[in-house]
Structures are given as C-alpha cells and as structure tokens.
Amino acid sequence: MATDPIAARLATLPGFQRLPSPKLTLFVRRAFLDPADCAHLVDLIDLGRRPSTIADPNGDTAFRTSETCDLPATDRVVAAVDAALAAATGLDPRHGEPIQGQRYAVGQEFKAHTDYFEPDGADFARYCSVAGNRTWTAMIYLNEPEAGGATRFKAVDKTIQPELGKLVCWNNCRADGTLNPATIHHGMKVRAGTKYIITKWYRERAWGW
C-alpha cells in the first residue's frame, strides 16, 4: 500500500491529532497560532476583503457567500505563519499558493465542495496547467463565532468546531495520489458573530511566481 510521507510526519508531531478514518487523512492541531497573531490576521482580512469566488461556477449564486482577502506575503505575521506551516508539514513552501483570509458574516457559508479542481471542469487548464492540482489544505480558525460556522466533512461524519488558533490540515489526495472525494467539506453558516479563517493550499508543483 502506498504511504503518505506528510501524514507520517504529522503523526509524530506533538499536539497533532489524526482523524481515525481510512477514507480521509486529516489532522487537527489546537492552538497552532497564538491570539495576538490571530487578531493581527483578522485586522488584515477586514482591511482587504472582497467577495469570494469559486472555480467552475455551478449556477448556485449562494454557494460561497463569504469574503476573501489576499494576504500580503510581506507582512511579518503572514510570513511567519507560512514558514510555520511549511516547517510543521514538511510540504515544500515553493508549492504553496499565497495565504488567503476568509470572512463569514451571519448567514454566510461555503457549501459542500472539494478543494481540488475537477479535471473535467471548464477551468481546469486555467488553474492547474502550471502548478498542477491542489494536494494539501491547511486552514486555521482565527476566532470563534458566537454560533455556527463549523466545518463539516460529511463523507466521514466529522464536524470540526471553530476555535481560535486551531489548525486543520488534510490531504486532498489518497496515498496513491488520486483525488479523494471523501475530502468534501462544508463551511457551515455562521449563526451569530463573524467567522475568520486563513487557508493555504499546496500544489503538485511549484506555484508559478
């Protein structure tokens, strides 16, 4: 059976808990970021937010209703988080997309989706011809909304609650490299308060710039 070297590494790190599922390689690490860094990132997201977009629009204009922020790689905290993620995971930082922030107000959500690009989707060549598809996702909750906003992985019946500084990371592929539909997840509606997260996606090859 193929093995996943990144998962093998994460399993050895203090505080990293692996989801006990043969279908999905997913880890949670509580308090990966400290409150001051989370607060700084929240401020950056509030300053730079724009409506979120999706690849391969499916006709549902309410599919992803959040806002997104392209975080500046030159920011001291953004650079430190980038380095910390690469150091923890062992993923090649050159394969990483720039870190994004996401902000969900009350009622906003990102319906069930996978983070990889569908090979038969209209946008596949545009998004994947240089760097290849997405491999790992790293996502960090920057705060705890007062209600709602959990991330639900329905194929493995796992719901992760937002918690300040909590890192969730998973492999969008199986150990043999094929895309894993069991990674499907839903950023559920915020019911009270505002939810802030950062997302970092890694690619098969170096990101083009």
**Minimum CB–partner distance for residue 12 and ligand AKG (Å):** 26
CB 2 within 8 A of CB 132: no
161 burial via Cβ count (<10 Å: 0-12, 13-18, 19+): exposed
Of 161 and 176, the one with the shorter C-beta distance to ligand AKG is 161
Query: What order of strands is seen across the sheet that includes strand 134-141?
Result: 16-18, 26-29, 167-171, 134-141, 195-203, 100-104, 67-70, 50-51
CB of 26 to ligand AKG, least distance (A): 12
| Dist. CA 117–CA 133, nearest whole Å | 6
Sites of contact with ligand AKG (CB under 6 A): 102, 110, 115, 151, 185, 187, 197, 199
Q: For 26-66, list the strands marked E by DSSP.
A: 26-29, 50-51
| Shortest distance, position 115 Cβ to ligand AKG, whole Å | 5
Q: Which of 4, 115, 118, 144 binds Fe ion (CB under 5 A)?
A: 115
User: Nearer to ligand AKG by C-beta: 14 or 66?
Assistant: 66
Q: How far is the CB of 100 from Fe ion (least distance, A)?
A: 11
Contacted by 199, from ligand AKG, Fe ion, none: CB < 5 to 8 Å by type: ligand AKG
Q: Report CA 151 to chain centroid distance, whole Å.
A: 10
| Residues of the shown chain interacting with Fe ion in the complex, contacts defined by CB under 5 A | 115
